[in-house]
Structure 1
Amino acid sequence: MSGQPELFDVTIIGGGPTGMYTAFYSGMRDLKTKLIDANPELGGKMLIYPKKIIWDVGGVTPILCRQLIDQLKRQALTFDPAIFLGEQVVSMDRQKDGTYTLTTAAGNQHWTRTVILAIGYGILKMAKLEIKGADRYEISNLHYTVQELEPFRGKKVLISGGGDSAVDWANALEPVAAKVTVVHRREEFGGHEKNIALMKSSSVRVRTPFTVSQLHSSGGEQIEEVTICHTETGETERLAVDAVIINHGMRSDFGPVREWGLDMGEWSANVSEKLETNLPGVFAAGDFVNYGSKVRLIAGAFMDAVLAVNSAKLYLDPEAPKTAYVSSHNERFKEKNKALGTLES
């Protein structure tokens, strides 16, 4: 296409659960919507944990992360937003007419009237085990995520970490593996209380406060034993293992976002209760934001999306309704309801 690219009402940067729900709700508000994400597929951080079970989304019974991604994706596409994947936005420039030009690393440009940032903690990479030579076992039995449970059946598994994912993996693997040992550098775990209690009441062996200090292999191809070290006394213990799973969190990198003039702290952008950033026409939602009543749950991210879109709508049209009509009375769903056969004749 020659000339200036098509102008959109809202461009969402980020394709995780926040970005996907933002795209859906933006469609409810009859806004011309685009979503751009650096990853090759939608899902954001959730793609790292496809087998993790999600319990805390309203109206949704326990669901695999992969299945929730698929449902959010289908919902996001309801009003046919433009989706651009595999494009990292590296600059955001406000024009004289108040619109924004977004430029990607590949040099592509996107024009938009407003921007909603749903970028989470930026580009995420798993924190690696900081032991020299550990990377050579990544092709065999050193893992940084659990994609499937079956490969661990009947095996002695050591999990290093103390967050939600480490606890969830321990609980999921406990009935599958021959033995599960969880090593954490602190006495306290950072996961949800019920899941921690379940882990501690099961056959999972918990060793705290310990860290993984050495990996041992007679043939050099697979880890056969692990030495763990008490963080206070220096006491060591050597454990036989068939697989090692590391969950030491994520390394986040906001990259050029920090150069865009946003009011940002170390991990997030400061926004108003209406999800407004300090830049005109730029709003934010999800893990990327911080405000007084912020709720760091997926359900909270959905509400952030609603508030950010409502603010964008009013920024574009101050006379517009403050929020969308509920779906049962929203004209945008009339034809879609007919197609589903849900309306009375």
Structure 2
Amino acid sequence: MPEELYDVTIVGGGPAGLYTAFYSGMRDLKTKIIEFSSQLGGRMLIYPEKMIWDVGGVKPILGGELIQQLIQQAKTFDPTIVLNQKIEKLEKQSDGTFILTSASGEKHYSKAIILAVGYGVLSMQKLDIEGADRYEVTNLHYTVQELEIFRNKHILISGGGNSAVDWANELESIAASVTIVHRRDEFGGHEKNVLRMRESSINVKTPYEVVQLHSDGDVIQYVSIVNKETNEMERVQVDAVVVNHGLKCDYGALEEWGLEIQDGVAIVNEKRETNIEGIYGAGDFIDHPSKVRLIAGAFTDGILALNSAKLFLEPDAPKVAYVSSHNIRFKERNKQIGLVDNDYREVRG
């Protein structure tokens, strides 16, 4: 039995990959998504309780809820979804099609590929203090899965990037106190969020670093921090410690495929084309002169990558999809929810 050949295979099931799958359906392409983990959602799975404000037309929404909406949207045109497969090998056949082979040996056949792998397989940067791992089962956290477990507690956050600043702001309203410790005076978060943090009751300690954890058994009670300029030591009483020191990224065998990768990201042009014909990129995995590192930017990447793939497969096709109010692929679905008449004009049912 011949293997099934797809028009487009999207590697990566985060926001970029999910929206690209939806848009691929709008362009009437046979689509497959392959995701390394057991769940769709990508990096956002780490922050299900994080409030997201910057998706156009969507009110502030929890990361976990946005994931579910993206998954539902991605399934609109019934793409094939494959979980728990890490793609390791890429082969280009004589007819121009590709074979993707997973670590477990499964093969996937596709005419075009869109890489939306984010930063690859992610793992948290751990706190570099001997014995810190013993507290991971009690009150040392590397992400915030549930805000409520921090209510009325004294919290210390170590880190200075977007996540550290965001969590400080989120927790400030429910915690007894929040202290944020960063090795530099400048924070890497969005300017407005950093300003909000500095103007709040959050105790901002810079340039400080966590150097020791003090416990009673397996529960941290105090944290020693040191001023990086004066070597002055302080102790901070805590009920919980949250560490946001960034993520370790691992692209694995993908880095051996011959893609142009610089500083950990793939270089693409304005059409989201990589240096390998038939392979495109979207989301955090790629860089280009006008790159926007927001979810909205990932959606745009996916659209442009998919349009390029469509024209690669069908050079005479329209350059972009018709808007949903005029796209024939929505005709039956609109009828099902009672929103359109026979002329495709939107009306109330």
Shorter-chain TM-score range: over 0.9
- 1:330 pairs with 2:316: no
Written as runs of structure 1 = structure 2, the 5 A alignment for 1:212-251 is 212-217=210-215, 219-251=216-248
- 1:123 pairs with 2:121: yes
The separation in 2 between residues aligned to 1:149 and 1:282, in whole angstroms, is 40
Partner amino acid, structure 2, of 1:280: E
Written as runs of structure 1 = structure 2, the 5 A alignment for 1:1-345 is 3-217=1-215, 219-344=216-341
Q: Give percent identity, aligned residues only.
A: 61
Q: Secondary structure at the match of 1:165?
A: helix
Q: Secondary structure at the match of 2:113?
A: strand
Q: Secondary structure at the match of 1:72?
A: helix
Q: Provide Cα deviations, 1:236-261, integer angstroms capped at 9, x if missing partner.
A: 10111111000000010111010011
Matched positions, count: 342
Query: Hey, which bits of structure 1, 4+ residues long, moved more than 6 A?
Result: none
Q: C-alpha displacement at 1:220, in angstroms?
A: 2.4
Gaps of 5+ in 2: 343-349
Partner amino acid, structure 1, of 2:205: R
Partner amino acid, structure 2, of 1:126: M
Partner amino acid, structure 2, of 1:19: G
Q: C-alpha displacement at 1:4, in angstroms?
A: 3.4
The separation in 1 between residues aligned to 2:21 and 2:198, in whole angstroms, is 40
Q: TM-score scaled to structure 1, two decimals?
A: 0.98
Q: Secondary structure at the match of 2:70?
A: helix
Partner amino acid, structure 1, of 2:284: D
The separation in 2 between residues aligned to 1:122 and 1:92, in whole angstroms, is 16
Q: Provide Cα deviations, 1:170-193, integer angstroms capped at 9, x if missing partner.
A: 111112111110001110111111
The separation in 2 between residues aligned to 1:176 and 1:296, in whole angstroms, is 29
Q: What's 2:347 paired with? A: none
The separation in 1 between residues aligned to 2:175 and 2:312, in whole angstroms, is 54
The separation in 2 between residues aligned to 1:144 and 1:77, in whole angstroms, is 31
Q: What's 2:346 paired with? A: none
What RMSD in Å do the two structures reach over aligned CA positions?
0.9
Gaps of 5+ in 1: none
The separation in 2 between residues aligned to 1:28 and 1:108, in whole angstroms, is 28
Q: TM-score scaled to structure 2, two decimals?
A: 0.97
Q: Secondary structure at the match of 1:77?
A: helix
The separation in 2 between residues aligned to 1:177 and 1:111, in whole angstroms, is 51
Q: C-alpha displacement at 1:233, in angstroms?
A: 1.6
Q: C-alpha displacement at 1:16, in angstroms?
A: 0.3
The separation in 1 between residues aligned to 2:78 and 2:58, in whole angstroms, is 24
Q: Secondary structure at the match of 1:329?
A: coil
Q: C-alpha displacement at 1:164, in angstroms?
A: 1.2
The separation in 1 between residues aligned to 2:75 and 2:280, in whole angstroms, is 21
Partner amino acid, structure 2, of 1:198: R
Q: C-alpha displacement at 1:280, in angstroms?
A: 1.2
The separation in 1 between residues aligned to 2:71 and 2:312, in whole angstroms, is 27
Q: C-alpha displacement at 1:235, in angstroms?
A: 1.1
Partner amino acid, structure 2, of 1:287: D
Q: Secondary structure at the match of 1:167?
A: helix
Partner amino acid, structure 1, of 2:293: R
The separation in 2 between residues aligned to 1:266 and 1:5, in whole angstroms, is 36
Q: C-alpha displacement at 1:108, in angstroms?
A: 0.5
Q: Provide Cα deviations, 1:136-191, integer angstroms capped at 9, x if missing partner.
A: 00000000000111111111110001111111111111121111100011101111
